[in-house]
Amino acid sequence: MVGLSDTLSTEAPVRTGLFIGGEERQTAETISVVDPAKAGVIVGEAASASADDVADAVAAAKAAYPAWSALSTAERARQMAEAIAGIADERDTDAAILSQENGKIRMEAWVDALVFEIRWNLALMIADEVDTGKTLPVMPGIPVNTEVSYQSLGVVTIIVPFNWPIAILAASLPHALLAGNTVIVKPPPSAPLATTRVVQRVAEKLPAGVLNVVTGRDENMGALIQNPDIAKVCFTGSVNGGKRIMEMAAKSLTRVTLELGGNDAAIFTEDAIIDDVHLDRLYAAIFDSTGQICMNAKRVYVHRSRMQEVVDGLSARLEKAVIGYGLDEGTTMGPLHSPVQKAFVAEIIEEAKDSGATVLEFGELPGGDLAGGNFLRPAIVVDPDPSLRVVTQEQFGPVIPILPFDTEEEAVRAANDTWGGLCGSVWTADPETATRIGSQLVCGYVWVNDHGATRLDLRAPFGGMKQSGMGREQGIEGIRAFQDTRSIGVIDPEALAAMAH
């Protein structure tokens, strides 16, 4: 990709601070950020906020809110456009840092940062829709003209996960700001460095306090959710994490948007097109970021007559996988982010083997200084018992179950028989079949003949059903999630008089 440096070196330790009220702040305590590919290697250090630091961030955002919310949407959009200008200048460095702290290959890290800018600019493109309200006119029995408009909420906290932190942040940050809110961003404690760098560069160009960044240990972060001055929390992460956020927010009646995990089903019908183009799409949908994407395909249901084609097609691609360090030339699959996740994925693969399912594993684990990293060989589990955890739980790793079906009804029932409802996909040569099956999938987003983050329409509302979350991000719906309605009713004297007779 143009702009990606082949000579970039980030061997010097990275250090990031807090950014509160327009000023960078260092802390006595820091978080050491480890390289998931190299045991014991520290990528850098991030500031570790105290409870007082968090309180200061809330106070700074609260102080900045009246002036920011009082601006016209057009003026906020203008300042936001100026703030994002030049964000790409350090993208190569951001990507290299993110690759080292996250583990994914550098190209994916580069795209992570690119999507931040794309989403930001797409939000600005709909600035003229932000203030569009409606009028409810006088009607028999209601002698009132009512204007329904929108208003911002106040101080908003946005919490992002480790896997695509910069891109995910931009699914909500520009929308919250454009709506007139001020924001505190909490990057992931295990991979805070690149995200902090990007957000601070934007925040420095906005009025002090409008955008703040706080990193640190979760135990010091409660006030980002429960402080009475926090109007809303937008959280992307695990289902269990979402439940904890919601429980904490309930104590202060803080609003929440939750974008949580998924157990996405991909359904290949009998007439599905299974050629190199579609197999490449499926492979990316499953194994991008070593399987660590919420909207990745997590279960593949294939008509029994086409099972072998899908298994063979994925196998051929996995045979070419190069497992290794994210910054190394030629690496196509990096490590899992944490030892805990590596252990979980390894466990569910072994469980599938013990059950008698056919498990195909591919690639070679790296040695040398990578021998202690969180690497796993990618795997396909063919026709497992549907009760196995590799089917019922979100793997969040490089393993995929492929299960046969005989009827369309059976496929839809199996796809919906899960706790999650984030995304899904239908693979068929028939548009009517795609619509018929897609409309029955209980999830927030459905693709046809594709699946995954690379094909997400960044203009469309995105979010989950069931335990995959609540609320929507992106688009005008994403902006409305950071607003509330205000109705102003004006009595119409003539209509009122007519009612008296």
Tens digits of residue pLDDT in 154-173: 999 999 999 999 999 999 99
Can you give 49-113 as a three-state secondary structure string? CCHHHHHHHHHHHHHHHHHHHHCCHHHHHHHHHHHHCCHHHHHHHHHHHHHHHHCCCHHHHHHHH
d(Cα 298, Cα 410) in Å, to the nearest integer?
18
Entry pTM: 0.96
C-alpha distances (whole Å) from 361 to each of 125, 266, 287, 291, 482 are 46, 21, 13, 15, 45
184's CB contacts (< 8 A; 6+ apart) are 57, 58, 61, 155, 156, 157, 158, 212, 213, 214, 224
d(Cα 229, Cα 295) in Å, to the nearest integer?
32
Instruction: Classify residue 335 by burial, with Cβ atoms within 10 Å: 0-12, 13-18, 19+.
Output: buried
Tens digits of residue pLDDT in 42-64: 999 999 999 999 999 999 999 99
Q: Going residue by residue through the chain (501 aa), what tens digit of pLDDT does each one get? A: 333 334 344 457 899 999 999 999 999 999 999 999 999 999 999 999 999 999 999 999 999 999 999 999 999 999 999 999 999 999 999 999 999 999 999 999 999 999 999 999 999 999 999 999 999 999 999 999 999 999 999 999 999 999 999 999 999 999 999 999 999 999 999 999 999 999 999 999 999 999 999 999 989 999 999 999 999 999 999 999 999 999 999 999 999 999 999 999 999 999 999 999 999 999 999 999 999 999 999 999 999 999 999 999 999 999 999 999 999 999 999 999 999 999 999 999 999 999 999 999 999 999 999 999 999 999 999 999 999 999 999 999 999 999 999 999 999 999 999 999 999 999 999 999 999 999 999 999 999 999 999 999 999 999 999 999 999 999 999 999 999 999 999 999 999 999 887
Q: What percent of the chain has pLDDT over 70?
A: 98
Mean residue pLDDT across the chain = 96
Half-sphere exposure of 236 (CA within 13 A, CB side): 27
- Token pair of 121 as six digits: 């600019």
CB contact at 8 A, 290 and 162 = no
C-alpha distances (whole Å) from 159 to each of 165, 218, 225, 250, 257 are 9, 11, 10, 17, 10
User: Which one-letter amino acid corresponds to residue 438?
Assistant: G
Half-sphere exposure of 198 (CA within 13 A, CB side): 35
48's CB contacts (< 8 A; 6+ apart) are 27, 29, 30, 31, 215, 216, 217, 220
d(Cα 275, Cα 185) in Å, to the nearest integer?
43
